Amino acid sequence: MSNRNEKLEALLGPTGPQVSCDECFERLDEYVELELAGADAEARVPGMRAHLEGCPACREEHDSLRALADR
């Protein structure tokens, strides 16, 4: 992807269906443990990956929960 497109994508966010912030929080623990188990977390929680790409606050919480649960 070109430099221009990366910047534009960052502004416009991901395409396709995605969960809301409330749904993200509701299922974040399940999603993280599926990831850590090597399962297809996105198949079990459709739209989570796109939301995490588009919402920096939810992404930070995902990254922290994954790091904490993996200790």
Partner 1 sequence: MTVAYAPLPVDSSEAWLDALRADGARRQDAIADLHDLLLRAARFEIGRRRSALSFVRGEALEDLAVQAADDALVAVLAKLDDYRGASRFTTWAYKFALLEAGVRLRRRAWQGREVVLEPESWPNLADDGPSAQRSAEGAELLRELKRAVQEKLTPHQRDVFVALALNEVPIDVLAERLDTTRGALYKTLHDARTKLRRELAASGYLEEVS
The three state secondary structure string of 3-71 is HHHHHHHHHHCCCCCCCCHHHHHHHHHHHHHHHHCCCCHHHHCCCHHHHHHHCHHHHHHHHHHHHHHCC
The single residue among 47, 49, 53, 54 that binds partner 1, judged by CB under 8 A, is 54
Query: Residues 17-46 vs partner 1: string with x where CB under 8 A?
Result: -x-xxx--x-xxxx-xx-------------
* Site residues (vs partner 1, CB under 8 A): 1-5, 7-13, 15, 18, 20-22, 25, 27-30, 32-33, 54-57, 60-61, 64-65, 67-69
